[in-house]
Amino acid sequence: MSRVDVVNLTKRFGDLLVLDNISFSVGNGEFLCIVGPTGCGKTTFLNSLAHLYDIDAGRITIDGEDVDLQKHSIAYIMQEYSAMSWLTVRENIEFGLKIRKVPKDVMKRNADEAIELVGLSKFADYYPNQLSASMLQRVAIGRAFAVKPDLLLMDEPYGQLDIDLRFQLEDELLKLWQHTHTTVIFITHNIEEAVYLSEKILVLTNKPTTVKAEYSNELPRPRDVTDPAFIDVRNKITDLIKWW
């Protein structure tokens, strides 16, 4: 539950300017989706935000303070499966808590809650190689929510899943978000997904990436992808994203 401000964020790889002077804000508990053409540097953007990359210029602050991973609680759910294969589901979900040296009883409570929320109670003692793709992604989501993050970053977490699983996990995510009031930044190239999930949509341009538009998505929930109002918003975003 935090407010995130990004001010003049710039990132280069050598001579290649990837992110050019990006500024935006995400409000406390807001669900922001970032869309943009393929290869526009969405992941670079998130990695910079998460301080996995050093940024060349600009500032990223959480509640007015510069991001510090040891202090701020940021959880990152990636495109790739990031469950530790040598840990059980429970141990994976406890991982962040263990890193943060949370007391044992709190750890157990948070983990139980997160395991329950992502529907893996029956599989708590399974190892990742015994799980399906969607369950692996649930492990990552559970691990993220277990640390009660100030900010949750998600990088096309459902890109590799079937459409019905994706719908299911999207609904679960919305439930988790409403339940925890976590601030979420969610990257996707799927416009429908963005319209379905978000409160605000940030449209990025091709490289060097800048913010092309910010769209406030006020569709009532629960949303229906076949609703004409929904389709209207989707078309608007599609028009904004077009670079051809």
Partner 1 sequence: MSSRSISIAGSRTEVVLYAVAALAGFFIVWQLLVMYTAVGMVMPSPIEVVEAMVASCADPIGSKTLPMHILFSLRRVLIGYLLAVLIGIPVGILMGCFQVGEAIIKPVFEIFRPIPGLAWIPLAILWFGIGEESKYFIICVSAAVSIILNTYEGAKSVDPTLVGAARMLGANDFQVFVFVTIPSSVPHIFAGLQVGLSSSWMAVIAAEMIRSSEGTGWIITTGMDSGNTVQILIGMVSIGFIGLILASLLRGLEKKLCTWRIQGR
The residue ranges that bind partner 1 (CB under 8 A) are: 50, 52, 69-70, 73-76, 78, 80-82, 84-88, 95-96, 98-100, 126-130, 140, 143, 147, 153
Min dist. Cβ of residue 130 to partner 1 (A): 3
What is the smallest separation between the CB atom of 215 and partner 1, expressed in angstroms? 28
In angstroms, what CA-CA distances link 97 with 73, 93, 103, 170?
A: 11, 8, 9, 25
Nearer to partner 1, 37 or 128 (CB): 128
Whole-angstrom distance between the N-terminal and C-terminal Cα of the chain?
Answer: 38
Least spacing, CB of residue 190 vs partner 1, in Å: 21
| 150 vs 192, beta carbon nearer partner 1 | 150
Closest CA to 25 of 183, 148, 189: 183
Furthest-apart CA atoms within the chain: distance in Å:
55
Minimum distance from CB of 26 to partner 1 (Å)? 17
Query: Tokens standing for 228?
Result: 């004409």
Helix 163-180, helix 133-146: angle, nearest 10: 10
Cα torsion 243, 200, 56, 208 to 10°: value is: 0
Q: Which is nearer to partner 1, 76 or 215 (CB)?
A: 76
Strand order in the sheet with 57-62: 16-26, 4-13, 57-62, 65-66
Give min distance, CB of 221 to partner 1, in A: 28
Beta carbon nearer to partner 1, 26 or 50: 50
